[in-house]
Amino acid sequence: MNTKIIRIAIVGLGFGAEFIPIYQKHPNANLVAICQRNEAKLNELADVFGIEKRYTSYEELLEDDAIDAVHINTPIPNHGIQSIKALKAGKHVACTVPMATTVEECQEIVRLTEETGVTYMMMETVVYAREFLFMKELYDNGDLGKVQFLKASHQQDMDGWPNYWPGLPPMHYATHCVGPVLGLTRGEAEYVSCFGSGTIRQELIKEYNSPYAVETTHIKFRNSDLSAQVYRSLFDVARQYRESFEVYGSKKSVEWPLMEGKPLVIHTAKKPETEIPEEVQSPDFAKLLPKEIQHFTTEGVYDDEEHQHLSFTQGAGHGGSHPHLVHEFVNALVQKIAPYPNAKQSANITCVGILAHESALNGGEIMQLPEFTFTNL
Strand pairing category for 53-55 and 29-35 = parallel
The number of domains in the chain is 2
Ordered strands of the 147-155 beta sheet: 277-280, 264-268, 252-255, 242-249, 147-155, 227-233, 214-221, 189-197, 367-368
- Distance from C-alpha of 351 to C-alpha of 59, rounded to nearest angstrom: 27
Statement to judge: residues 133 and 18 lie in one domain: no
The beta strands (E) that lie in the chain are given as 6-11, 29-35, 53-55, 69-72, 92-96, 120-123, 147-155, 189-197, 214-221, 227-233, 242-249, 252-255, 264-268, 277-280, 367-368
Statement to judge: residues 160 and 109 lie in one domain: no
What CATH number has the domain bearing residue 232?
A: 3.30.360.10
Instruction: Determine whether 153 is exposed, middle or buried from the number of CB atoms within 10 Å of its CB (0-12, 13-18, 19+).
Output: buried
- Distance from C-alpha of 61 to C-alpha of 53, rounded to nearest angstrom: 9
Statement to judge: residues 331 and 360 lie in one domain: no
Cβ 72 vs Cβ 93: under 8 Å: yes
Instruction: Report if residue 361 sits inside a domain.
Output: yes
Statement to judge: residues 65 and 163 lie in one domain: no
CA angle, corner 219, sides to 322 and 183, nearest 5? Answer: 30
Which amino acid is located at 297 in the chain?
T
Statement to judge: residues 266 and 164 lie in one domain: yes
pTM for the model stands at: 0.95
Q: Give the CA-trace dihedral at 124, 128, 129, 135, to 10 degrees.
A: 120
Instruction: Report if residue 139 sits inside a domain.
Output: yes
Q: Which domain holds residue 115?
A: 6-124+324-339
Statement to judge: residues 202 and 277 lie in one domain: yes
In the DSSP assignment, the letter for residue 284 is P
What CATH number has the domain bearing residue 31?
A: 3.40.50.720
Q: 177-206 b/e with 16+ CB inside 10 Å = b? A: bbbbbbbbbebbbbbbbbbbeeebeeebee
What distances in angstroms separate CA 331 from CA 92, 121, 334, one per listed residue? 13, 12, 5
Please compute, for residue 362, the number of CA atoms within 13 A of its CA located in the half-sphere on the CB side. Answer: 10
Residue-level length of the chain: 377
pLDDT tens by residue, 301-316:
544 444 454 444 433 4
Statement to judge: residues 167 and 115 lie in one domain: no
Beta bridge partners of 92: 69
Cβ 38 vs Cβ 12: under 8 Å: no
Which amino acid is located at 306 in the chain?
E
Instruction: Report if residue 301 sits inside a domain.
Output: no
List per-residue pLDDT tens for the chain, 377 residues long: 689 999 999 999 999 999 999 999 999 999 999 999 999 999 999 999 999 999 999 999 999 999 999 999 999 999 999 999 999 999 999 999 999 999 999 999 999 999 999 999 999 999 999 999 999 999 999 999 999 999 999 999 999 998 899 999 999 999 999 999 999 999 999 999 999 999 999 999 999 999 999 999 999 999 999 999 999 999 999 999 999 999 999 999 999 999 988 999 999 999 999 999 999 999 999 999 999 999 999 865 544 444 454 444 433 468 999 999 999 999 999 999 999 999 999 999 999 999 999 999 999 999 999 999 999 77
Statement to judge: residues 139 and 269 lie in one domain: yes
Please compute, for residue 68, the number of CA atoms within 13 A of its CA located in the half-sphere on the CB side. Answer: 14
Residue 28, phi then psi, degrees to nearest 5: -115, 15
* Bond from prior residue into 341 cis (ω within 30 degrees of 0): yes
